[in-house]
Chain A
């Protein structure tokens, strides 16, 4: 099975690899997946408290090329979006953008879960209720 050019590009030149200070109040961290399953994603957002816009996003991922590309793409999409807009990112958008084959759809699901987990972490830190997110689809 060959990878799409976009997956290869994200793999070779991943965007926004790194770590944000999870101690900060305006940073939300989402850690999803499990080592035994072969993929773990950690996705972080930093929210501009004045505007509610995501000013920075970082990821680190243990996984296959498609998992790395899904999280790299997710951080790109998150930057500049409001938290509410970020919630609307759907895993199928990632599948479409990266041309993921069916066996790799779970990578995109994991990325969507990571986004939502990061947003919830941010909400809880800021005295908001955690959103009751629909159970992950895998």
Chain B
């Protein structure tokens, strides 16, 4: 149930990759012998598979080590390449840390970053976005689908605004590609980061889409070396990983529609089942949401304590502070306006290709039972039941 963190490799992907570890081990950059040619051919083919899934030209795909590197390359690469045009980037507070931390880094390099707040449903306000654009704005960076709450941003409207003002549009689409139709032409995307391991491919490989026409976009390389990937990302190609990425994209292309329909049905059943639990709340927009994701808070129960009740059998993640070293609860949930207490009480569900109906039933039962058990030992639940307003108590913050 934690498929937003990562997905298992599809066995068909693994099978496709295997020969490229052993007999087809060549370096795709070796031009002088068949080992290299075979590897290069495989990379070219994978590039086509990846491009096809997002309706791009294969030449527009830059392979990277994953979405984090693609995010870094897009943001830093654009900031450096378009420095003469401006230094202002617009993003939002619920982005992945790979974007937010890169923006923080760029601020230290002289960038001006606007972090747009999101509305209570997790969506950016388009008017606020447009109003934030200045003559120094070079890039809008807004994610496609959120990793914690699954909310899908109004990508086409954002790209129209960007186009209207002559600003480039980058989207981190790590959670969306392979799950819902993503079309860089129709969506008006100039740069896009995504990753293989979120769509049943291997870890350690991802891509940055960089538009070549209308407009032709360029990024300054962040990895210098042999001039691989048209000079934008040097380093020996991860041939088995790229081959697996290609195959994973092909499978998603063929199976995505059915899979999304199946998963959204299961997700809705899970959500309905868990909404029967008293004082449970679904976080983020339910209308604009990835089909396999939901995020629910169970008030008066702490998320990590809750997961402990079933974590041997169900893998989940929580917005609770206790799961992270920082002791800060989910910044995404807080950005929606949730109090820290509800953020601490949240669970994130990410269904996947191999989730079964039996697992959904089991999960509903296990969570319901554990919530009830923990509430029996929760002083907050007791106070709530006695009608005490918890906000009137002077808590000893620590």
Contact = CB atoms under 8 A, between A and B. Distances in A.
Contacts of A62: 300-302, 305, 378-381
Interface in A42-72: 42, 59-65, 67-68
Given A3-B308, A64-B320, A65-B305, A35 B377 contact: no
B178 interface: no
A80 interface: no
A17 B308 contact: no
Interface residues of A, number: 34
A11 B379 contact: no
Contacts of B320: 38, 64
Interface residues of B, number: 30
A138 interface: yes
Nearest to A110: B398
Given A17-B377, A35-B341, A64 B398 contact: no
A33 B394 CA distance: 10
A60 B300 CA distance: 12
Nearest to B324: A103
Given A64-B322, A68-B377, A35 B395 contact: yes
Contact of B340 (A17, A36, A67, A138): A36
A38 B340 contact: yes
B223 interface: no
Interface in A108-123: 109-110, 113
A60 B308 contact: no
A32 B308 contact: no
B395 A40 contact: yes
- Max chain A Cβ within 10 angstroms of own Cβ: one of B305, B320, B340: B305
B304 interface: yes
Q: Is the interface of A mostly helix, strand, loop or mixed?
A: mixed
A111 to B, nearest CB: 12
Contacts of B396: 32-34, 113
B377 A14 contact: yes
A6 B340 CA distance: 29
A19 interface: yes
B305 A64 contact: yes
B145 interface: no
Interface string B91-132: 000000000000000000000000000000000000000000
A39 B302 contact: yes
B322 A19 contact: no
Contacts of B305: 11, 62-65, 67-68
A7 to B, nearest CB: 9
Given A11-B308, A138-B398, A37 B340 contact: yes
Interface in B281-305: 300-302, 304-305
Contacts of B304: 38, 64-65
A39 to B, nearest CB: 7
Nearest to A106: B398
B340 A35 contact: yes
Contacts of B321: 37-38
Contact of B308 (A38, A64, A106, A136): A64
A41 interface: yes
Contacts of B5: none
Given A11-B308, A40-B380, A62-B380, A34 B397 contact: yes
A33 B395 contact: yes
Contact of B382 (A11, A60, A64): A60
B398 to A, nearest CB: 5
A14 B305 CA distance: 13
B344 interface: yes
A3 B47 CA distance: 44
Contacts of B382: 19, 60
Contact of B378 (A31, A61, A113, A136): A61
Nearest to B304: A64
Contacts of A67: 302, 305
B352 interface: no
Interface in B165-210: none
A34 B398 contact: yes
A31 B302 CA distance: 17
Interface in A1-36: 3, 8, 11, 14, 17, 19, 31-36
Contacts of A19: 382
Interface string B330-372: 0000000001110010000000000000000000000000000
A36 B380 contact: no
A136 B329 contact: no
A65 B322 CA distance: 10
Given A11-B309, A33-B395, A106-B398, 7 more contacts: A19-B382, A32-B398, A34-B396, A37-B340, A61-B377, A109-B398, A113-B396
9 contacts: A34-B397, A35-B339, A38-B321, A40-B379, A60-B377, A60-B379, A61-B377, A63-B305, A64-B305
